[in-house]
Structure formats: C-alpha cells, structure tokens
Structure 1
C-alpha cells in the first residue's frame, strides 16, 4: 500500500467513531417502508467486497442498499418499482449528486449533472428547442448523408480484411456529432483529434476520478499525480475544443454585423453549416448567478456532454445490432427485403422518411436496445427527500441507480429474453407497443425515464434506424469462418463487445463514390 493510501486509511480509522453515529439514521419511512436489504457494511469503508448486480438481486431482492464509504447507494432492478420511483414520485428523484470535480474545470452546468432546478430547465430547453427539435434535426440531413457516404466508402475500400468495423462505426458517428456540435465538417485528422481528446477525458472520469468523489479537499492532495493526469486531459480537451467554439462565436458576431460568413464579400465555406449546437449556447444567461453568460469551462463541458451522449452510445448500439445481424442471417435478409421493397435500387441512400415506413427495421433497432443497452445502468439519481416506494424507504440523500439491462432481460416480462428476436416488437409479440419513454409503464428503458429521460432519444433512434438500414442495404454481413462473432461484454465508457466486430462484407450494389468524404 502506498503512502497516500496509508494516510487515508489512518484518517478514516481516526474518524470511525463519528461515522458510526452518522450512519445510524432513519430506518423506517412514514408510510412503513423499510431501508432495502443489502450486504453488511463496515462503517465509513462501506461494502468492501464487490458483487455483481445479478448476485445482489438473487440474494436480496429487486431493491438493494449498499454502502460506498459513508454514502448510501440503492440499486433498483424491478421495472414496476422503477416506474413508481422515476415517474410517479415526480421531482423527488429528479436531482443529481453534487459535482465533485470542479477543481478539474468540470462545472455542474450541464444537462446530465445540473441539480434539478432553473439551470437544468434552461439548458435542457435550449438543447431540445435549438438542436433536437425536428425542424432543426432536418437541417443536419446533409451531415448524415456525408457521414454515411464516408463510412460506406471506408468499408468498401478498407485494406484490412475483414475490416475494423467497430472503429469505423465510431469514427462515422464522431464525424456526425462533431459537425452537429461545432457546425464545421472537419477533416478526418481533425475529427480524430476531437474524438481522442474527448475519449481521454471520459476514460479518466470513468476510471481514474472516482477517488476524488470521497473528500476531494483531501484526496486531491493525496493523489496529486492522478490529479495532474486529469488536469492534462482537461487541458487537452479545451485546447482542441476552444478554437472550434471561438470560430463559431466569431461567425455569429460577423453575421450579426451583416458581414456574412467570412466578412464582406468573402465566399461561404462549403464545409460550414448554418446551424450548430454551440451556436445556441452563446446567448444563455444563468438565472442563479446574476444572469452571467457561460464561461469557457461551461461551454467545453456542454460540448463534451453533447458528444458523449451521442457518440459512444450510438456507435456501441450500432456495433451490437450489426453483430446480431451477422449471427442471425435470416433476420438480416428479412430486413434487407423490407429495405429493398421500400427503396428499390436506384436511390443513393435509405432516407430518413424511408425508415419511417419500415416496421421491421424499427423492431430490429428496439430489440438491439433491449438486448444490448449501451449503458447497463443510468446515471445516479439523488433522493431530494425520504421516499416510500413499493414498501421500500429511499432516504433523503441516497444515490439511486437503475439497472437498465436487468429490466430488459426480465424473463417474467420477455419470452427467451437473451434471444435476439425482433419479431417480439411486431403485432402479436410480447413487446408490441412497448413505450421506451416509460411514461405509461417501464418494460425497457435504454434512455431512462421520468424527468431526467435522455433528451436525445428521438435523434438517437433516428441515427440508429438510418445507419442500420444503409449498412444492410450496401453490404451482406457474414461471419468469418474460424473468427465467429463473440457477444461477450466488456465495460468501457459503454458496455461494448469484448472482441470487436470484424465481419466479412460483400457489397450488394455497384460501387458509387460518395460525394464528399474528406
């Protein structure tokens, strides 16, 4: 054990008597609900042994309480209890834990991390109205076509056989989300620089920053080397993001002065889009801080959130869906038949309007999200007050996690839940009419539910429909003999394939070079 850890343990032991008293709190709610059961915990240190969610649920039931240090964490794996907690209790479980990484430049002024209140409402309303509204989403149709064309050409001309599909999917989605965020169609090296800076930051926060959640005023000194790693990752992110943000700020200023995109008489850049997410952020004034505008750190955090919410989640879901289509050629051919009947062979692409007329495509995507949700658990919710839910007490201040995967795999709700069967979402299937928003009831919730449901749900499904349809239209996807698809999972930023997908691709159509792939 290194010196910082020895000092931390000594400090914890010194404060042990105080924490024994602090942990003795309300055990029974006003309506009779009791604290959920869970494994024994050492005061202050919490539950030392790690347990899988499946093990905890099998032993203690659908709601489990754990101690992480002095913090109470509640795991909910039952769909009915999740609906009661997220939807029926209203705002009581709509808050988030307070940010603990301000010293790394990460503010709480993001949609996913802000406390439930005026700032959260302002930021979410801005995203939904300014970028995710259908009229805005349609503006990015050329961006989707560009990313799709670049992806198809990459897969057709790859020097690797079989190609690294997982990497190409991630890059294509990165191209699209970077363009939507910053309003500029960047070169491949520039997109990869943005993606690398973003991924380094996310990997640090996912795997290295957890020590700062516990007494950050102390741990940031004990783990100085790790702190420097985080500061370097954040600095790199700002160095890459800020020139793109400033370019859009300058463009906005010139447009407001009537100077056009590049000043009087300057031609418009063919790579510059009329609208971007960052454009909507410049005029925001924070109501709880005297009406000030967003700082550079705020802007970087919001852009990082936008990219994180749409890049790894979408590319991960795409890889899982395509892997299942490789393993299930009959499903793939049924989907191709629907695509061909809807679009024919002459169109350059399967358009967004086309996908709305494809029920089997919708079923394939929904089944992919049920069987392989990119995130197996939602971001933590914070109980703003004591809540009695279905006989359980969730105390004020508890962190509550909802286990998305277990709900979608519940054999009481789904026949053969581990089987990939899109037919379950067609008329007569056990998933017919499922509501992924969870408003009427939760059976699967890959996007969350309640007031904190993912604002990008509609755009995410649109992107999945669009890319899956076009990839199946362009190629036959086959397993490579001796290198079969392995559906073993591995947790990274999302839950990915441990062995990335590398299928054999056979073009279905005559090669047509995409218009713009730079």
Structure 2
C-alpha cells in the first residue's frame, strides 16, 4: 500500500506535463516545417549524439528552415546560407540575445560574461573592452612577437621528439594556451611537456562538451531540479575548478606578483578599468573580470588548436596538397628562417587551406543559440517570439547546392578560377561562417585567424608528417566528437619529420 503512491508520482507528473504541454496555445500562423514532436520531450530524441549531423539529415527532408519543439521551447534551425543570412543579417537585431540555459547560469557566472550576456549596455561595454584592448589591430601587432615565440617553442618541441610519436593536439593546446596566457596574464602557464597541460585541455574540452549538451532541464523547466542527465552537477564542479584558477590569477595581479611581459597584459588592464570602465554600462566587477577571462581562455585556446589539428590531418590524407603547400612556402619564405605573421598575406594557397579547414571542420558546428525578442517572418513562415535560433554552420558549409563535391578537401575552390574565389570566413559570406555573423560574431575572430594561419603555415613549412602505429593516410579516422566545439573522436598521433636545417629550429 505504501509503495503504490510512489509508483504513481512519475506517471501523474508525466500526465500533468503532457496535458500542460498540449494546452499551450497553438500558433495561428504558419510555422516552418519539421518532424512531429513526441509527447512532453518534443523533438529532443531526434537530436541524437551528434546534433549537427541529425539536424542536417532532418533539413534534407524538411528544408533549410525547420521548426522543432524541444520540450516547451520553440526552436528554429537555419541550414542554408540564404536562411542564415535572413536571421543573422536582415533580422540580426531581433536575434541579438541568448536564450536562458544552464551553461550560462552554472559555468559562465550567471550570464555575467560576454558570450552569454543579454544584448544591451553591459554587453556592449564588455565587447568594447575586448575590441580595444585585446583584438584591435594595434593590440594584435603589439603581441605578434608573443605568438611567434610560442609557435617557435612548439617547433623546437616537435623537432626534439626524435622517433617518438607525439599527440599533436596536446602540444597545440600548450602553444595556444601559453600564447593567450602571455597576452592575458603576462606569463606562460605551461611548460613544453607539462602534465598540467593535459589536465587544462581536458577541463576546456569538458566545458565545451557540457556547454554543447542539450540539457533536458533547459527545455522542460519542471524537470530541471532533477538533473536527470547529471549535467548541472558536472557544470558546478567544473566551474569551481576554473573559478579557483581565475581567483589565483586575479590575486597575483592585485598583489603585483602576476605578469612579466614588457607590454601590459589584459588582466592588469581589466583591474585598472574595474573602478572606471571605459564605455557604457557602468563599472566592472571581479565576477565580470573572471567571466571575461573565462570566455577568452575557453574560446581562444581549444578552438584554434582543434582547427589546426584538423588541418594537419587533412593534409596528411592529401599528400599532393601538402606538396603544393611546401612549394609555396619554399618559394615565398625559403628554408633559412621560420615563417612569420608578416608572410601570411603572401601565402595564398596556405590561406585557402585554412579556409577549407574552417569549411569542413568549423570549430563551432552549431552556432551558439540566439532568441527571438519579437515575432517575425522568415521565408514566409512565422517565427514566434521567444523562439531559440540554431544555425547549423556545419551543414551550411557542406550544402551540395552551394559547393561542388562538398565532402572533399579542396582548397583550390577558394583560389582564382575556383568556385568561391572571393568568399571569406569573416561573417560576410554566409556559405562559410565558422565565427558566426552579425552582432554576436566571435569578438576574437582576428586573433583566431592569425593564430590558426600562423600555426598551419609553420607546421607545413617545418615538417613532413607520418602517422603513428603504421596507420595509412587513407585509413585515418576522421570521425567527430560532438561538443560546443568540433573535436576529433581520436587524437592525431604523428611522427614529425623535420624538413629544414637544424639551426632554423634553434634560431626560432
């Protein structure tokens, strides 16, 4: 007798949720097409383990503008360049804010960061601080030597590997993290083969995976407290780890122990701005400073390193393209010095390789969600106020209506005479928008492009590559592991074979 009520509770709860869900007012206007939702959970089961793949498959059936119902939330998905352009250009102001989500609440200091902050004065203040002090042309040029020095450290580490295989992604993570840390903190945070680097990379990857999860509690608020997937618990634990790391950084800077660069680092600048923020929105708090540093570490390290890892994997699979890149590098830069950022503008084939990598392997396959501030009309369909917008960046860049042989790695498509010679990746051409577009485009796009181009150029110039364990290039696993960023399912393990004289690696 005492057990029966306990057994009834879940059933009654489910019935109540189902009734409430179906009592919601129907939209009188025409919604975009999409798959029929399940009771209560809606279309959540349709997302699968790799949502960008699942949503691309659904778009092939229902069209490039879809409507889904995830629990209680209306979701619209853009899966073509023309539809994405309408959302992110024509109606950009209406979709300039983020929907509520557990990642922003539990990991990003309850929306006090730049990435998830509501669109408004404080968001503009944070973005202006980044644009002026970190990502302006002057700021990027001031710290050019930092990026080049850290990339030179990477080449020495790879050249010193001898006949030992290396996990390329881990060393790339060390390089990108140290380069960003010297700008943000005034010092490196990892040694060349630092065990803590793996731990930090794991933390960053876990945060991106958790941020990319579709948490049931976000879509069915009545179930949020149950934390059915255990996501909230993991988020809180990870946040505590990062918060401790960032507290240490702030304390060092406040006491004058942090930083050793000849240029003022970003943390010192933010602390100086704390009581007199230069822009709209008032003063900076310690929490906002930590939230901003968190954004920069997460968005500025793993996205770049994973993109470079994908690029080298593609070049290993396409030796003729790698040979062509070697020829360009030898003709433009030569073999007596390392490539520098000032060389990048002359390396047209190298730039095409980077564009093609961004196309096939966008670091953020599904754009960070946006929310409709007001109802609007797209392609003749009604988009309700409060709808969440997802742009399938991955699917758009593989659209067979826009790209010839879209699954092939073909950098020449971006060269004169190719199919898309004038397309860039800076948010102006919606066929390939790895950094997003519109008001919420990635604020660090200029740094990301410089870092990825410099790393790919250096790795192309300085090494030939052989896969470990006798794996043939055509058998290399190119599967993806889904998170907020597009990681490789298996890390790239390689033998780097120096192709320049030893003194070049030492002089870097």
Instruction: Report the TM-score, using the length of structure 1 for normalisation.
Output: 0.86
* Mean Cα deviation higher: 460-469 or 474-483: 474-483
Structure 2 alignment gaps of length 5 or more: 48-53
Which residue, 275, 286, 292 being the options, matches 2:264?
275
Q: Does 1:376 align with 2:372?
A: no
Summarize the alignment of residues 74-473 of structure 1 with structure 2, pairs less than 5 Å apart.
74-100=76-102, 102=105, 106-158=109-161, 161-188=164-191, 189=194, 194-207=200-213, 210-214=215-219, 219-220=224-225, 227-251=232-256, 271-282=260-271, 283-284=273-274, 291-296=282-287, 298-347=288-337, 349-439=338-428, 441-473=429-461
Counterpart of 1:35 in structure 2 is: 31
**Pair 1:77–1:206, CA change in 2 (3 A):** closer
Counterpart of 2:50 in structure 1 is: none
Q: Give the distance between the partners of 2:95 and 2:169, measured in 1 at CA.
A: 36
SS in 2 for 1:393: strand
Deviation at 1:486, TM superposition (A): 2.2
* Mean Cα deviation higher: 117-126 or 212-221: 212-221
Once the two structures are superposed, residues 338-388 of structure 1 have per-residue CA deviations (whole angstroms, 9 ceiling, x without a partner) of 1122222222x2111111111111111111111221221100110111111
Summarize the alignment of residues 10-29 of structure 1 with structure 2, pairs less than 5 Å apart.
10-22=12-24, 24-28=25-29
**Pair 1:198–1:121, CA change in 2 (3 A):** same
* Mean Cα deviation higher: 214-223 or 421-430: 214-223
SS in 2 for 1:410: coil
Q: Give the distance between the partners of 1:278 and 1:74, measured in 2 at CA.
A: 38
Q: Is the 8 A contact 2:303 2:363 kept in 1?
A: yes
Instruction: Report the TM-score, using the length of structure 2 for normalisation.
Output: 0.87
Q: Give the distance between the partners of 2:208 and 2:412, measured in 1 at CA.
A: 36
Q: Is the 8 A contact 1:286 1:294 kept in 2?
A: no
Q: Give the distance between the partners of 2:243 and 2:221, measured in 1 at CA.
A: 23
Counterpart of 1:256 in structure 2 is: none
**Pair 1:195–1:84, CA change in 2 (3 A):** same
**Pair 1:12–1:177, CA change in 2 (3 A):** farther
Counterpart of 1:508 in structure 2 is: 499
SS in 1 for 2:493: coil
SS in 1 for 2:255: helix
Deviation at 1:93, TM superposition (A): 1.3
Q: Give the distance between the partners of 1:38 and 1:288, measured in 2 at CA.
A: 43
Q: Is the 8 A contact 2:72 2:220 kept in 1?
A: no
* Mean Cα deviation higher: 332-341 or 95-104: 95-104
SS in 2 for 1:17: helix
Q: Is the 8 A contact 1:162 1:504 kept in 2?
A: yes
Once the two structures are superposed, residues 25-67 of structure 1 have per-residue CA deviations (whole angstroms, 9 ceiling, x without a partner) of 4341xxxxx2111111245321253251232112211111111
Q: Give the distance between the partners of 1:223 and 1:289, measured in 2 at CA.
A: 40
SS in 2 for 1:241: helix
SS in 2 for 1:72: strand
Deviation at 1:445, TM superposition (A): 0.8
**Pair 1:225–1:328, CA change in 2 (3 A):** closer
Q: Is the 8 A contact 2:121 2:280 kept in 1?
A: no
Q: Does 1:58 align with 2:63?
A: no
**Pair 1:231–1:286, CA change in 2 (3 A):** farther
Q: Give the distance between the partners of 2:198 and 2:331, measured in 1 at CA.
A: 37
Q: Give the distance between the partners of 1:401 and 1:116, measured in 2 at CA.
A: 17
Q: Is the 8 A contact 1:372 1:405 kept in 2?
A: yes
Q: Is the 8 A contact 2:125 2:281 kept in 1?
A: no
Structure 1 alignment gaps of length 5 or more: 29-33, 252-260, 263-268
Q: Does 1:491 align with 2:488?
A: no
Q: Quote the RMSD (CA, aligned, Å).
A: 3.1
**Pair 1:509–1:135, CA change in 2 (3 A):** same
Q: Give the distance between the partners of 1:4 and 1:214, measured in 2 at CA.
A: 25
Q: Is the 8 A contact 1:178 1:191 kept in 2?
A: no
Q: Give the distance between the partners of 2:296 and 2:318, measured in 1 at CA.
A: 33
Q: Give the distance between the partners of 1:273 and 1:56, measured in 2 at CA.
A: 53
